[in-house]
Amino acid sequence: MTKFADRIVPIPEGGVMSKIFAAFDYPDALSLGDGVPDASTFPVQELKAMTIEAFDEADDPVINNVLFSYLDGGYPKLKEFIFDRCMNKYNTGNPEMDSIQLFGGAQQLIDLVAKIYCNPGDTIIVEDSSYGGAIFSFEEYQANVVGVPIDEHGIIPEALEETLKREKNVKFIYVIPTFSNPTGIEMSLERRKAVYDLAVKYDVMIFEDSPYFELRYSGDYIPTIKSMDTTGHVIFAGSLSKIICPGIRIGYAIGPKPVMDAILNGKINNDISGPGIIQVAVAKYLEKYDLDAHIAECCDLYRTKRDAMLAALEREMGDIATWTHPEGGFFLWLTIPEGLSGKDFAVYVAEKKHVVLYPGANYHPKGEDVNAVRLNFSVPTEDQIDDCIKKVGDALKEFIELNK
């Protein structure tokens, strides 16, 4: 068989994840795994109405072209709406310096940013822990992905500077400052400023990935790193996946114009354009409906679920584990006693309790094992959360015994 490129690393059969997913074979399986929104939040009827309106504009040849042909660079009205919202509501983006582009979800942007910046061996700095889908994508470009320690306030600036000094050809710092996937941690304002200052000092980009930043359930808003950017060192990535639905596949990026031009060129070589009918329907949705009111409803739902999970954790594992207390987003991070394997624990929970959760290793460069697992609270109902956390707590007691 013709040899694949060196970037292709075979996925081992019978690995940890296949053992975990085997739990789904049981009728009583429950999941705290995937990081998707609660399907009840999807504005199905509104999107349907707007899609019909979009189809009804097909007689206009200009709109017809947008709807049904290639759409290099995305639907201008949708781009304008999102850019204006980011600028006016969040001071994120500066029309003098920045432009916006749309992508097939923020994942496509993650791929393209690595593609335009990284030769094999170039360094990308990530928070330790960080989004697995980004780490995999970066590693596919054979980047040297280096984790920097975090605490409850986000990435530690001293450790970041040490890494910037030590590593060669650092291209960008990838951070999820607001309600991180996987930890739920929010980077403090002071840390954001420190990260920006270091990026300028060492002249590397910051890739601020923020798909959850509008899903806040408590605490005060903290400005984006992009809002501090006067030097063109920040690419801000947002997404409609979590606040409307993933199926529309719309992510966006705001960044310095020359960088966005290179990324757009990469996107054209990658898939020419996204589907116009959806972009027009979503633009109509954003024009006609109150997105902030919709987000507020989502937050009410997720706040209840988060609180249910925090209460259940306190009840079931108060004396044997620690966890983060996220003010938003979809996840919290459960740390089990030191010396225990997060991978082995996730497999144990799947096999013995039929609860799916993902090991912390999935969120580390090269899949390094840690004594932690990620818990999702956006999908399960409150009852399921109670049930799951009880089972996870029982499993942890057993697992600690077994590993004594």
Q: Which of 195, 395, 380, 220 is nearest to 302 (CA)?
A: 380
Complex with a copy of itself: residue 124 or 396, whichever CB lies closer: 124
Q: Which of 133, 93, 94 is nearest to 113 (CA)?
A: 133
Q: Residue 378 contacts by C-beta under 8 Å, 6 or more apart in sequence?
A: 35, 36, 37, 38, 302, 305, 330
Complex with a copy of itself: residue 51 or 304, whichever CB lies closer: 51
Complex with a copy of itself: residue 175 or 313, whichever CB lies closer: 175
CB of 230 to a copy of itself, least distance (A): 14
CB of 256 to a copy of itself, least distance (A): 8
Q: Which two tokens stand for residue 317?
A: 């594992």
The torsion angle over the Cα atoms of residues 232, 237, 243 and 244, rounded to 10 degrees, is 110
Complex with a copy of itself: residue 54 or 355, whichever CB lies closer: 54
CB of 72 to a copy of itself, least distance (A): 10
Cis omega (within 30 of 0) on the bond before 12? no
Number of H helices and E strands in the chain, helices first, is 13, 14
CB of 292 to a copy of itself, least distance (A): 21
CB of 2 to a copy of itself, least distance (A): 5
CB of 231 to a copy of itself, least distance (A): 10
**Residue 216, strand partner residues:** 328
Can you list the alpha helix ranges (DSSP code H) found in 148-188? Answer: 157-166
What letter would DSSP give residue 222?
Answer: -
Q: What is Dmax (Cα atoms) for the chain? A: 72
3-state SS, residue 175? strand
Q: Which two tokens stand for residue 183?
A: 């930890």
Q: Which of 252, 387, 231, 373 is nearest to 309 (CA)?
A: 387
CB of 121 to a copy of itself, least distance (A): 11
Complex with a copy of itself: residue 45 or 401, whichever CB lies closer: 45
CB of 243 to a copy of itself, least distance (A): 13
Q: How far apart are CA 215 and CA 403, in angstroms?
A: 38
Complex with a copy of itself: residue 62 or 293, whichever CB lies closer: 62
Complex with a copy of itself: residue 69 or 91, whichever CB lies closer: 69
Q: Which two tokens stand for residue 259?
A: 């960088």
Complex with a copy of itself: residue 39 or 401, whichever CB lies closer: 39
The torsion angle over the Cα atoms of residues 336, 342, 345 and 351, rounded to 10 degrees, is 150
